[in-house]
Amino acid sequence: MTELARHAGRGGLDVDVPSCPEWTVRRLIGHQGAVHRWAAASLRGQDLAWEPLEKAGRSSPDPVEWLRDGAIELVRTLVAAPADVSAPTFLHDAPPPRRFWARRQCHETTVHAVDVLAARLGRLPRADETWIDADVALDGVDELLLGFVPRSRSRLRSTTPLTLAVTLTDAAHGYTVRVSDEPPVVVRHDGPVEGDRSVEGTAVQVYLALWHRSDELDSDLWPLWRDSAVL
Protein backbone atom coordinates (compact mmCIF):
# COMPACT_ATOMS: atom_id res chain seq x y z
CA MET A 1 0.00 0.00 0.00
CA THR A 2 2.82 2.39 0.88
CA GLU A 3 4.54 1.70 -2.45
CA LEU A 4 1.33 2.18 -4.41
CA ALA A 5 0.76 5.58 -2.84
CA ARG A 6 4.42 6.57 -3.23
CA HIS A 7 4.61 5.78 -6.94
CA ALA A 8 1.21 7.35 -7.60
CA GLY A 9 2.42 10.54 -5.97
CA ARG A 10 5.61 10.61 -8.03
CA GLY A 11 4.21 9.49 -11.37
CA GLY A 12 0.92 11.39 -11.46
CA LEU A 13 -2.70 10.31 -11.56
CA ASP A 14 -3.43 10.72 -15.25
CA VAL A 15 -0.55 8.60 -16.54
CA ASP A 16 -1.45 5.49 -18.56
CA VAL A 17 -0.83 2.08 -16.96
CA PRO A 18 1.08 -0.19 -19.40
CA SER A 19 -0.05 -3.39 -17.68
CA CYS A 20 -3.73 -2.37 -17.61
CA PRO A 21 -4.66 -1.12 -21.10
CA GLU A 22 -7.02 1.86 -21.17
CA TRP A 23 -6.48 2.52 -17.46
CA THR A 24 -4.87 5.56 -15.91
CA VAL A 25 -3.42 5.62 -12.40
CA ARG A 26 -6.52 7.51 -11.27
CA ARG A 27 -8.81 4.74 -12.52
CA LEU A 28 -6.59 2.08 -10.97
CA ILE A 29 -6.76 3.85 -7.61
CA GLY A 30 -10.55 3.97 -7.87
CA HIS A 31 -10.57 0.24 -8.54
CA GLN A 32 -8.15 -0.64 -5.74
CA GLY A 33 -9.90 1.51 -3.18
CA ALA A 34 -13.23 -0.04 -4.14
CA VAL A 35 -11.74 -3.51 -3.71
CA HIS A 36 -10.50 -2.64 -0.22
CA ARG A 37 -13.92 -1.35 0.81
CA TRP A 38 -15.70 -4.32 -0.77
CA ALA A 39 -13.40 -6.78 1.01
CA ALA A 40 -13.99 -5.07 4.36
CA ALA A 41 -17.74 -5.15 3.75
CA SER A 42 -17.60 -8.85 2.85
CA LEU A 43 -15.94 -9.59 6.18
CA ARG A 44 -18.72 -7.67 7.93
CA GLY A 45 -21.41 -9.60 6.07
CA GLN A 46 -22.38 -6.61 3.93
CA ASP A 47 -22.72 -6.18 0.18
CA LEU A 48 -21.59 -2.92 -1.41
CA ALA A 49 -22.44 -1.67 -4.89
CA TRP A 50 -19.20 -1.58 -6.88
CA GLU A 51 -19.60 1.24 -9.40
CA PRO A 52 -20.38 4.03 -6.90
CA LEU A 53 -17.26 3.11 -4.93
CA GLU A 54 -15.00 3.32 -7.98
CA LYS A 55 -16.60 6.58 -9.07
CA ALA A 56 -16.09 8.07 -5.62
CA GLY A 57 -12.40 7.22 -5.75
CA ARG A 58 -11.83 8.61 -9.24
CA SER A 59 -13.64 11.86 -8.46
CA SER A 60 -12.16 12.37 -4.99
CA PRO A 61 -10.25 15.65 -4.50
CA ASP A 62 -7.37 13.50 -3.21
CA PRO A 63 -7.66 9.95 -4.65
CA VAL A 64 -4.50 8.74 -2.90
CA GLU A 65 -5.81 9.83 0.50
CA TRP A 66 -9.15 8.19 -0.33
CA LEU A 67 -7.24 5.01 -1.12
CA ARG A 68 -5.40 5.19 2.21
CA ASP A 69 -8.69 5.62 4.07
CA GLY A 70 -10.06 2.44 2.52
CA ALA A 71 -6.91 0.49 3.32
CA ILE A 72 -7.06 1.61 6.95
CA GLU A 73 -10.71 0.55 7.12
CA LEU A 74 -9.79 -2.87 5.71
CA VAL A 75 -6.98 -3.40 8.22
CA ARG A 76 -9.20 -2.39 11.13
CA THR A 77 -11.91 -4.77 9.91
CA LEU A 78 -9.42 -7.63 9.62
CA VAL A 79 -8.05 -7.00 13.10
CA ALA A 80 -11.53 -6.80 14.62
CA ALA A 81 -12.88 -9.91 12.88
CA PRO A 82 -12.90 -13.10 14.97
CA ALA A 83 -10.70 -15.94 13.78
CA ASP A 84 -13.78 -17.99 12.92
CA VAL A 85 -15.67 -15.19 11.15
CA SER A 86 -18.13 -16.41 8.53
CA ALA A 87 -17.62 -14.64 5.21
CA PRO A 88 -17.56 -15.57 1.51
CA THR A 89 -14.38 -16.72 -0.24
CA PHE A 90 -13.89 -17.49 -3.91
CA LEU A 91 -10.66 -19.42 -4.51
CA HIS A 92 -10.04 -23.15 -4.75
CA ASP A 93 -9.23 -24.72 -1.37
CA ALA A 94 -9.30 -21.29 0.29
CA PRO A 95 -8.09 -20.74 3.87
CA PRO A 96 -10.54 -19.50 6.55
CA PRO A 97 -12.19 -16.19 5.62
CA ARG A 98 -10.09 -13.81 7.74
CA ARG A 99 -6.84 -15.31 6.48
CA PHE A 100 -8.23 -15.52 2.95
CA TRP A 101 -9.11 -11.82 2.78
CA ALA A 102 -5.87 -10.67 4.38
CA ARG A 103 -3.87 -12.73 1.91
CA ARG A 104 -5.98 -11.84 -1.12
CA GLN A 105 -5.80 -8.13 -0.43
CA CYS A 106 -2.06 -8.31 0.19
CA HIS A 107 -1.52 -9.67 -3.31
CA GLU A 108 -4.24 -7.56 -4.92
CA THR A 109 -2.58 -4.43 -3.57
CA THR A 110 0.96 -5.59 -4.35
CA VAL A 111 0.16 -6.37 -7.97
CA HIS A 112 -1.61 -3.05 -8.48
CA ALA A 113 1.28 -1.22 -6.82
CA VAL A 114 3.48 -2.79 -9.50
CA ASP A 115 1.02 -1.41 -12.07
CA VAL A 116 1.56 2.09 -10.69
CA LEU A 117 5.33 1.56 -10.80
CA ALA A 118 4.94 0.49 -14.45
CA ALA A 119 3.01 3.69 -15.13
CA ARG A 120 5.80 5.72 -13.59
CA LEU A 121 8.47 3.87 -15.61
CA GLY A 122 6.44 3.79 -18.82
CA ARG A 123 7.07 0.03 -19.14
CA LEU A 124 6.79 -3.24 -17.26
CA PRO A 125 9.35 -3.39 -14.44
CA ARG A 126 12.02 -5.98 -13.79
CA ALA A 127 11.86 -7.92 -10.54
CA ASP A 128 14.91 -6.10 -9.16
CA GLU A 129 13.16 -2.76 -9.70
CA THR A 130 10.41 -3.69 -7.26
CA TRP A 131 10.37 -3.85 -3.46
CA ILE A 132 8.74 -7.29 -3.28
CA ASP A 133 10.26 -9.77 -0.82
CA ALA A 134 10.80 -13.37 -1.87
CA ASP A 135 8.48 -14.61 0.89
CA VAL A 136 5.62 -12.45 -0.39
CA ALA A 137 6.24 -13.61 -3.94
CA LEU A 138 6.38 -17.28 -2.89
CA ASP A 139 3.01 -16.95 -1.18
CA GLY A 140 1.62 -15.09 -4.18
CA VAL A 141 2.69 -17.81 -6.60
CA ASP A 142 1.14 -20.38 -4.28
CA GLU A 143 -2.16 -18.49 -4.11
CA LEU A 144 -2.29 -17.99 -7.86
CA LEU A 145 -1.43 -21.54 -8.89
CA LEU A 146 -3.29 -23.44 -6.16
CA GLY A 147 -6.16 -20.99 -5.68
CA PHE A 148 -6.98 -19.27 -8.96
CA VAL A 149 -5.87 -21.70 -11.66
CA PRO A 150 -7.81 -24.86 -10.61
CA ARG A 151 -11.18 -23.09 -10.48
CA SER A 152 -13.85 -24.32 -12.88
CA ARG A 153 -14.10 -20.81 -14.32
CA SER A 154 -10.43 -20.85 -15.32
CA ARG A 155 -10.09 -20.74 -19.10
CA LEU A 156 -6.71 -22.42 -19.13
CA ARG A 157 -7.57 -25.31 -21.44
CA SER A 158 -5.97 -27.35 -24.21
CA THR A 159 -7.46 -29.91 -26.60
CA THR A 160 -4.09 -31.65 -26.42
CA PRO A 161 -3.27 -32.50 -22.77
CA LEU A 162 0.06 -31.15 -21.58
CA THR A 163 1.92 -30.30 -18.39
CA LEU A 164 3.33 -26.89 -17.48
CA ALA A 165 6.27 -26.83 -15.08
CA VAL A 166 6.98 -23.83 -12.84
CA THR A 167 10.44 -23.75 -11.26
CA LEU A 168 11.43 -21.27 -8.55
CA THR A 169 15.19 -20.96 -8.44
CA ASP A 170 15.22 -19.60 -4.88
CA ALA A 171 12.84 -22.16 -3.38
CA ALA A 172 12.94 -25.89 -2.67
CA HIS A 173 9.61 -26.57 -4.35
CA GLY A 174 8.00 -26.18 -7.75
CA TYR A 175 4.64 -26.75 -9.44
CA THR A 176 3.12 -28.70 -12.28
CA VAL A 177 -0.09 -27.64 -14.00
CA ARG A 178 -1.87 -30.36 -15.95
CA VAL A 179 -3.85 -28.70 -18.74
CA SER A 180 -6.59 -30.45 -20.72
CA ASP A 181 -10.19 -29.73 -21.71
CA GLU A 182 -11.11 -30.01 -18.01
CA PRO A 183 -10.23 -27.60 -15.16
CA PRO A 184 -6.45 -27.54 -14.62
CA VAL A 185 -4.91 -29.81 -12.00
CA VAL A 186 -2.10 -28.14 -10.05
CA VAL A 187 0.36 -30.00 -7.82
CA ARG A 188 3.05 -28.51 -5.60
CA HIS A 189 6.18 -30.69 -5.54
CA ASP A 190 9.21 -30.80 -3.29
CA GLY A 191 12.24 -30.84 -5.57
CA PRO A 192 12.66 -30.38 -9.33
CA VAL A 193 9.70 -30.40 -11.72
CA GLU A 194 9.44 -31.18 -15.42
CA GLY A 195 6.79 -30.57 -18.05
CA ASP A 196 6.03 -30.17 -21.73
CA ARG A 197 6.42 -26.41 -21.33
CA SER A 198 8.20 -24.65 -18.51
CA VAL A 199 9.13 -21.36 -16.90
CA GLU A 200 11.99 -20.79 -14.48
CA GLY A 201 13.02 -17.80 -12.40
CA THR A 202 13.20 -16.35 -8.93
CA ALA A 203 10.01 -16.20 -6.91
CA VAL A 204 9.61 -12.49 -7.61
CA GLN A 205 10.26 -12.93 -11.34
CA VAL A 206 7.74 -15.76 -11.60
CA TYR A 207 5.17 -13.94 -9.45
CA LEU A 208 5.27 -10.91 -11.72
CA ALA A 209 5.32 -12.95 -14.91
CA LEU A 210 2.36 -15.16 -13.97
CA TRP A 211 0.35 -12.05 -13.14
CA HIS A 212 1.31 -10.54 -16.53
CA ARG A 213 3.26 -7.75 -14.82
CA SER A 214 6.69 -8.48 -16.32
CA ASP A 215 8.16 -9.64 -19.61
CA GLU A 216 11.50 -10.48 -18.04
CA LEU A 217 11.23 -14.29 -18.37
CA ASP A 218 11.24 -16.10 -21.69
CA SER A 219 9.11 -19.24 -21.79
CA ASP A 220 7.28 -21.45 -24.25
CA LEU A 221 4.26 -21.57 -21.95
CA TRP A 222 3.35 -17.88 -22.27
CA PRO A 223 1.23 -18.15 -25.44
CA LEU A 224 -1.09 -20.66 -23.78
CA TRP A 225 -1.02 -18.90 -20.40
CA ARG A 226 -1.72 -15.43 -21.72
CA ASP A 227 -4.14 -16.31 -24.52
CA SER A 228 -6.35 -18.31 -22.16
CA ALA A 229 -6.89 -15.37 -19.77
CA VAL A 230 -6.11 -17.54 -16.76
CA LEU A 231 -7.07 -14.93 -14.19
Residue 12 has pLDDT above 70, yes or no: yes
* Contact status, residue 143 vs residue 107, Cβ threshold 8 Å: yes
Among 54-58, 98-102, 164-168, which is the least confidently predicted range?
A: 54-58
Rounded to whole angstroms, what are the CA distances from 176 to 45, 49, 121, 201, 219?
A: 36, 38, 33, 15, 15
3-state helix, strand and coil shares in percent for the chain, rounded to the nearest 5: 50, 10, 40
Q: Does domain 134-227 have CATH number 2.130.10.10?
A: no
Numbered ranges of CATH 3.30.1050.10 in the chain: 134-227
Mean pLDDT across 138-152 = 97
Q: What is the mean pLDDT of residues 125-148?
A: 98
Q: Measure the CA–CA gap between 4 and 113, rounded to whole angstroms.
A: 4
Convert the pLDDT of each residue in 66-82 to its tens digit.
999 999 999 999 999 99
Q: Per-residue pLDDT for 4 more than 90?
A: no
Q: Tell me the pLDDT of the chain averaged across its residues.
A: 95
Q: Which fold has domain 2-123?
A: Four Helix Bundle (Hemerythrin (Met), subunit A) (1.20.120)
Q: In which residue ranges of the chain is CATH 1.20.120 found?
A: 2-123
Taking the alpha carbons at both ends of the chain, their separation in whole angstroms is 22
Kindly indicate the confidence band of residue 31, based on its pLDDT and cuts at 50, 70 and 90: very high
Confidence of residue 26 (pLDDT cuts 50, 70, 90): very high
Confidence of residue 198 (pLDDT cuts 50, 70, 90): very high
Q: Which helix (DSSP H) or strand (DSSP E) does residue 95 occupy?
A: none
Torsion-angle region of 72 (φ positive above 0: left; ψ -120 to 50: alpha; else: beta): alpha
Neighbours of 63 (CB within 10 A): 23
